[in-house]
Amino acid sequence: MQTSATTELRPLGDSGLLVSPVALGCWPIAGVTTLDTNEADSIATIQKCFDIGVNHLDTAHVYGPNGESENLIRRALGKRRDEIVIATKCGIHYEDGEMITDNRPERLRLECDESLRRLGTDRVELLYLHAPDDKVPLADSAGALRELMESGKTRSVGVSNFTVEQLEAFHAACPISAVQMPYNMLQRDIEQRTIPWCRERHVAIMIYWPLMKGLLAGKLPRSGELDERDNRRKYPMYQDDEWRRNQDFIEQLRNAAALSSHTVAQLVVNWTIGQPGITSALCGAKRPAQIEETAGAMGWTLSAEQRAIIDAALAARGQAAAKRVFT
Ligand SMILES: NC(=O)c1ccc[n+]([C@@H]2O[C@H](COP(=O)([O-])OP(=O)(O)OC[C@H]3O[C@@H](n4cnc5c(N)ncnc54)[C@H](OP(=O)(O)O)[C@@H]3O)[C@@H](O)[C@H]2O)c1
């Protein structure tokens, strides 16, 4: 397996900030849906980023019922906090064990303050509105995020899980530097409208589920036997015929990855961060070795032969239905 080469940083929209094309997604370390997490490994995973050219962490107020993800980031970064571009999200919180979407301005202000406290910092580089909330006018939430930016609590603002119409409305009230959406080799809906919208406005595109929660790392057993408690069983991509077709697809990718001594995860993420308009792939990990492997997707280019194998595999597989859930 090849590990990380030099990393070329990319602009985070017009914010003046630069981020690595592979970022660490800090949802798994919250331990809500990911099995077998522990504090020592989570902290080591975050700290690994310093050595492998990953300078961007993605978390959220709701990553853990008690802010576990943000708290772990504070403890892991310590005095090196300024070397990292931290993004967090507001607008979804835990209440009695349930995730509640609430985008009222007072709630967003409260969550921002709580996130800063947990992260041990006086500002983040990027604050997203986590998801739209039908109960609250978009302009009110955008106004609150704009004020948080003007007060210096965040350097830039982003939104996540928005339609293009919602992006338009929000952007008119508060300039957006980044949009966060699901995207991977098999779930490419955002190529239709979202990516062109962002590219026209120099807005960064940060994508989640580059590995479709581990499926596209190509290490899960073909038999499909996952632990009874494994939350991934609920996704259609992990079920029945979709699962079998995905495994056939991954077999093709193995041939392409072997040509340059990379792993399937590295091939998949390399392809993803090379797609037009994509700024960074938010790659979840719970062990240092996982983010080290994924970071090895940076710093090299697919050969023509690898591209041909990937294109043929994609054509045979076809696109999977995207499922809009956040966990
Ligand atoms: N804005 C939103 O609404 C939203 C929604 C979802 C996610 N996100 C963000 O996007 C990030 C990415 O999403 P995600 O973490 O759910 O999924 P992901 O990045 O597609 O997959 C992460 C999972 O893949 C497995 N994995 C990672 N590296 C691996 C490797 N080298 N070899 C084998 N398996 C590997 C691990 O699972 P196992 O070890 O358990 O197999 C890991 O938990 C999140 O962490 C979060 O920051 C945002």
Q: What percent of the chain has pLDDT over 70?
A: 96
pLDDT, greater one: 229 or 181 = 181
How far apart CA 210 and CA 79 sit, in angstroms, is: 30
Q: Is position 151 within any domain?
A: yes
pLDDT at 5: 59
**Residue 13 — left, alpha, or beta (φ > 0 → left; ψ -120 to 50 → alpha)?**
left
User: How many CA atoms are closer than 13 Å to the CA of 320, on its beta-carbon side?
Assistant: 25
Overall average pLDDT of the 137-141 stretch = 97
Residue 208 has pLDDT above 50, yes or no: yes
Residue with structure tokens 């036997």?
225
Instruction: Please provide the size of the chain in residues.
Output: 327
pLDDT at 325: 44
Overall average pLDDT of the 172-200 stretch = 97
Task: Identify the residue whose C-alpha is closest to ligand 1 atom 5.
Answer: 326
Q: Is position 70 within any domain?
A: yes
218 neighbors 265 (Cβ within 8 angstroms):
yes
Task: Identify the residue whose C-alpha is closest to ligand 1 atom 34.
Answer: 214
Report residue 143 as tokens. 């106004």
Question: Is 63 marked active-site?
Answer: yes
pLDDT at 324: 46
- Amino acid present at 165: E
Overall average pLDDT of the 147-158 stretch = 98
Q: Is position 171 within any domain?
A: yes
User: For the whole model, what pTM was predicted?
Assistant: 0.96
pLDDT at 321: 63
Overall average pLDDT of the 129-137 stretch = 98
DSSP output for 77-107:
HGGGGGGSEEEEEESEEEETTEEEE---HHH
Q: Is position 117 within any domain?
A: yes
Q: Is position 275 within any domain?
A: yes
| Helix (H), strand (E), coil (C) string for 154-177 | EEEEEEECCCHHHHHHHHHHCCCC
Q: How far is the CA of 155 from the centre of ligand 1 (A)?
A: 25
Q: Which atom of ligand 1 is nearest to the CA of 290?
A: 31
- 10 Å Cβ neighbour count for 319? 11
How far apart CA 116 and CA 130 sit, in angstroms, is: 16
Q: Is position 255 within any domain?
A: no
Q: In total, how many domains does the chain have?
A: 1
105 neighbors 129 (Cβ within 8 angstroms):
no
Q: Is position 257 within any domain?
A: no
84 neighbors 55 (Cβ within 8 angstroms):
yes
Which of the residue ranges 226-230, 256-260, 295-299, 313-317 would you say has the lowest mean pLDDT?
Answer: 226-230
Residue 202 has pLDDT above 90, yes or no: yes
Task: Identify the residue whose C-alpha is closest to ligand 1 atom 15.
Answer: 284
Q: Is position 2 within any domain?
A: no
Q: Which atom of ligand 1 is nearest to the CA of 293?
A: 31
pLDDT, greater one: 12 or 35 = 12
Q: How far is the CA of 210 from the centre of ligand 1 (A)?
A: 7
User: Largest Cα–Cα distance of the chain, in whole Å?
Assistant: 54
Any atom of ligand 1 within 6 Å of the Cβ of 238: no
DSSP output for 281-294:
EEEE-SSHHHHHHH
How far apart CA 228 and CA 318 sit, in angstroms, is: 29
pLDDT in tens, 14-63: 999 999 999 999 999 999 998 899 999 999 999 999 999 999 999 999 99
Report residue 77 as tokens. 């970064």
Mean pLDDT (the chain, rounded): 95
pLDDT at 6: 64
What is the domain range of residue 67? 10-215+265-299
**CATH number, position 69:** 3.20.20.100
Residue 322 has pLDDT above 80, yes or no: no
pLDDT in tens, 59-117: 999 999 999 999 999 999 999 999 999 999 999 999 999 999 999 999 999 999 999 99
Q: Where in the chain does DSSP place strands (E)?
A: 10-11, 18-19, 22-25, 56-58, 85-90, 92-95, 98-101, 124-129, 154-160, 178-182, 204-208, 280-284
Overall average pLDDT of the 130-158 stretch = 98
Q: Which of 56, 55, 73 is nearest to 64 (CA)?
A: 73
